[in-house]
């Protein structure tokens, strides 16, 4: 014995019992998935002649999205659940091959056969019913995802005849041999994606908008909706279709639309418009304050629409910016011109026009002088000329000498007009703010609806940056569509958790200035959920720091989850 410590000289190794555990964020995500009845929904719609039900497989894939590590999601799923209570999660004992990549590939094949878009819309409707969300404003947009496979790999895969066909484009990594897929989405006023559709590669925006309108006419024809998009719906045939269904639209007006009606609105706003301050439409710090004015203009088909011209009160196009930007373009347009000789007057004049056109929309007054010069001509042969050789005629050539000068009056006009953006809408006019803008909307209400477009951009950001849909590694095209559907369902589940926490736990706003689901998951990332027998009684234990354990309990209570729900007891 050691007298100083009074401890045995040798310690023996023992084996602690293995206790299956599950990260708290994944347990919460899968518990919400089961609470919404999605396991039963997948099981009823998909083929069940597998070792594990499709609903359980979908639940496991969604569970991997409820972690903070982006690169570990939606791949190597068996590694995620190596130490998890799989017998509970999967509903009984099963062979290890049930979690292989091939098994999940079979699940994606089954999902594709069941029509992924229809399945997704059904799930989104269950989410809306669960949260009791009713919305009449919907934001529409399109995006794409890169498939990381080479052309040889992609072409070697057998593509089903009814599958969508992708096109090769440039990926974010700069590769031009990657497949890109397109998809369209429609988001309600609370930020939930209600419609998600996969499209052939390089499908035109107007075609994808047509698919969205088809969905609205099939499933939402009894409602008068307000559809919001960024230039993509501003097409005469699309606008006629929206109005035919008694719906409303709010969109940015493109320059080329209806005989350049936007240019007429901008000119009227400068010449006769009285801009009125309408405030800010963002909660972020230093958000810009806008001023706006309104006009009515007729389109080329005879319809009359409201046009709202707006700009920031503190316009960023200052003189210093116009000077720097104009000088940068001047240097680019005149690069190497001083060293060039032009053999004909027409070539010199063409070059002068090119420089003038390049600077036409800057705050610089440009003038180009064309100078005719001569140089000695060359003899027809080499060597010393004889006395009777004629003197060669001089060669004529032209040079251009461009000059520019900053014009303060021109800069004032550009700084006044270049910041003006135009919104087109068919919402009724109103001088007072109505609770329902379909009964009449002020300028500020229309702009607030338009700036709500950030909600669909955030949904795309969640799908790509949070869940990992920016790059997919599935080469089979029907599995790509099915996997995109699973990613969309994952974002829905994350949205349900975030929406519920924000509404039922407002006290957490002090701890999380921006209360996002990602921040909440990160704040509980060290907590694991496990099930143990304590004193002859089965107990759910939380293993982790005390403050994180308390957060998990508060979130579970807000979601109406019992301890047994976290370990799939029900």
Is residue 155 scored above 70 in pLDDT? no
Q: Pick the residue with more confidence: 51 or 358? A: 358
Where are any strands of DSSP class E within 247-289? 248-252, 276-279
Give the mean model confidence (pLDDT) for residues 87-110: 76
CA 173 to chain centre: 18
Each residue's pLDDT tens digit, 505-515: 877 766 766 77
Reported as a pLDDT band with limits 50, 70 and 90, residue 31 is: very high
Distance between CA atoms of residues 164 and 485, nearest Å:
14
Task: Say which range, 82-86, 154-158, 272-276, has the weakest mean pLDDT.
Answer: 154-158
Question: Is residue 2 pLDDT above 60, yes or no?
Answer: no
C-beta pairs of 256-259 under 8 Å, 24+ apart in sequence: 257/424, 258/299, 258/300, 258/301, 259/300
Crossing angle of helices 38-45 and 54-64, in 10° steps, is 130
Residue 565 has pLDDT above 60, yes or no: yes
With bands split at pLDDT 50, 70 and 90, how would you rate the model's confidence at 166?
very low
Other Cβ atoms less than 10 A from the Cβ of 485: the count is: 26
| Whole-angstrom distance, CA of residue 27 vs CA of residue 568 | 8
DSSP letter (8 states) at residue 192: -
What is the residue-averaged pLDDT of the chain? 82
Residue 84 has pLDDT above 70, yes or no: yes
pLDDT at 4 over 60: no
More confident residue, 82 or 482: 482
pLDDT digits (tens, 9 = 90+) for 374-430: 888 877 677 777 777 777 888 889 999 999 998 888 877 776 666 788 999 999 999
Instruction: Give the Cα separation of 229 and 252 in Å (integer).
Output: 7
Using the CB atoms, write b or e for 220-251: b if 16+ within 10 Å: beeeebbbbbbebbbbeebbebbeeeebbbbb
Alpha-carbon distance of 545 to 527, in angstroms, equals 7
Strand 178-187, strand 193-199: pairing: antiparallel
Q: Encode pLDDT of 462-483 as tens digits.
A: 888 777 665 666 667 788 888 8
Would you say residue 159 has pLDDT above 50?
no
- What span, in angstroms and rounded, lies between the C-alpha atoms of 288 and 145? 32
Q: Tell me what the mean pLDDT of segment 353-379 comes to.
A: 87
Distance in angstroms (rounded) separating the CA atoms of residues 399 and 338:
8
Backbone φ/ψ region at 336: left (φ over 0), alpha (ψ -120 to 50), beta:
left
* Res 228: pLDDT: 95
Average pLDDT over residues 190-202: 87
Query: DSSP readout, 331-399?
Result: HHHTTTGGG--BSSHHHHHHHHHHHHHHTTTSSEEEEEEEEEEEEPPPPSS-SPPPTTSPPPPPEEEEE
Reported as a single tens digit per residue, the pLDDT across 206-235 is 889 999 999 999 988 778 899 999 888 898
| Confidence band, pLDDT 50/70/90 cuts, at residue 98 | confident
Please give the pLDDT value at position 163. 46
pLDDT at position 119, please? 93
Quote the CA–CA distance of 521 and 25 in Å, as a whole number.
Answer: 6
Question: Is the pTM for the entire model greater than 0.85?
Answer: no
Q: How confident is the model at residue 91 (pLDDT cuts 50, 70, 90)?
A: low
Q: What is the pLDDT of residues 554-563, one digit of tens each?
A: 999 999 999 8
What's the average model confidence in pLDDT over 482-499?
91
Contacts (Cβ under 8 Å, ≥6 apart) of 222: none
């Amino acid at each position: 014995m050691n007298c100083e410590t009074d401890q045995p000289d040798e310690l023996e190794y023992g084996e602690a019992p293995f206790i299956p555990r599950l990260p708290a964020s994944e347990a919460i995500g899968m518990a919400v998935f089961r609470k919404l009845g999605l396991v039963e929904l997948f099981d009823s719609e998909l083929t069940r002649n597998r070792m594990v039900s499709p609903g359980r497989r979908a639940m496991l894939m969604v569970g991997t999205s409820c972690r903070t590590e982006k690169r570990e999601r939606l791949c190597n799923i068996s590694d995620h659940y190596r130490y998890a209570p799989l017998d509970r999660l999967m509903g009984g004992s099963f062979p290890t091959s049930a979690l292989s990549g091939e098994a999940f590939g079979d699940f994606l094949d089954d999902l594709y056969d069941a029509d992924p878009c229809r399945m997704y819309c059904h799930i989104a409707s269950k989410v809306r019913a669960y949260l009791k969300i009713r919305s009449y404003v919907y934001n529409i947009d399109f995006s794409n995802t890169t498939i990381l496979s080479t052309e040889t790999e992609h072409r070697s895969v057998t593509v089903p005849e009814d599958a969508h066909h992708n096109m090769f484009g440039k990926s974010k990594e700069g590769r031009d041999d990657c497949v890109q897929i397109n998809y369209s989405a429609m988001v309600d006023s609370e930020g939930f994606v209600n419609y998600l559709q996969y499209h052939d590669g390089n499908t035109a925006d107007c075609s994808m908008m047509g698919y969205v309108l088809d969905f609205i006419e099939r499933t939402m024809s009894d409602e008068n909706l307000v559809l919001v998009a960024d230039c993509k719906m501003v097409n005469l045939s699309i606008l006629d279709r929206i109005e035919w269904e008694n719906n409303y639209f709010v969109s940015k007006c493109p320059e080329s639309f209806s005989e350049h009606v936007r240019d007429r609105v901008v000119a009227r706003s400068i010449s006769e418009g009285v801009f009125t301050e309408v405030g800010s439409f963002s909660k972020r710090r230093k958000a810009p304050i806008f001023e706006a004015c309104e006009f009515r203009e007729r389109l080329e088909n005879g319809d009359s629409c409201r046009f709202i011209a707006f700009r920031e009160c503190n316009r960023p196009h200052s003189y210093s910016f116009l000077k720097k930007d104009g000088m940068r373009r001047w240097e680019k347009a005149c690069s190497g011109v001083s060293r060039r000789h032009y053999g004909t007057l027409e070539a010199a004049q063409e070059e002068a026009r090119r420089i003038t056109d390049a600077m036409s929309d800057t705050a610089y007054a440009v003038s180009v002088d064309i100078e005719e010069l001569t140089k000695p001509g060359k003899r027809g042969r080499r060597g010393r000329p004889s006395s009777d050789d004629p003197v060669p005629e001089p060669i004529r050539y032209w040079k251009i000498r461009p000059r520019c000068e900053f014009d303060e009056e021109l800069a004032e006009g550009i700084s006044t007009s270049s910041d003006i953006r135009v919104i087109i809408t068919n919402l009724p006019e109103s001088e007072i703010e109505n609770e329902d803008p379909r009964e009449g909307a002020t300028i500020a209400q229309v702009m607030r609806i338009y700036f709500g477009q950030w909600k669909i951009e955030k949904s795309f950001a969640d799908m790509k940056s949070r869940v990992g849909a920016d790059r997919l590694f599935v080469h089979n095209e029907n599995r790509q569509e099915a996997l995109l559907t699973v990613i969309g369902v994952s974002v829905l589940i994350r949205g349900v958790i975030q929406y519920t926490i924000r509404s039922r736990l407002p006290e957490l706003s002090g701890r999380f200035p921006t209360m996002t689901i990602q921040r909440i998951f990160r704040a509980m990332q060290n907590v694991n959920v496990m099930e143990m027998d304590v004193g002859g009684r089965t107990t759910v234990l939380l293993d982790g720091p005390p403050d994180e354990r308390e957060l998990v309990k508060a979130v579970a209570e807000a979601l109406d989850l019992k301890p047994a729900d976290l370990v799939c007891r029900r």
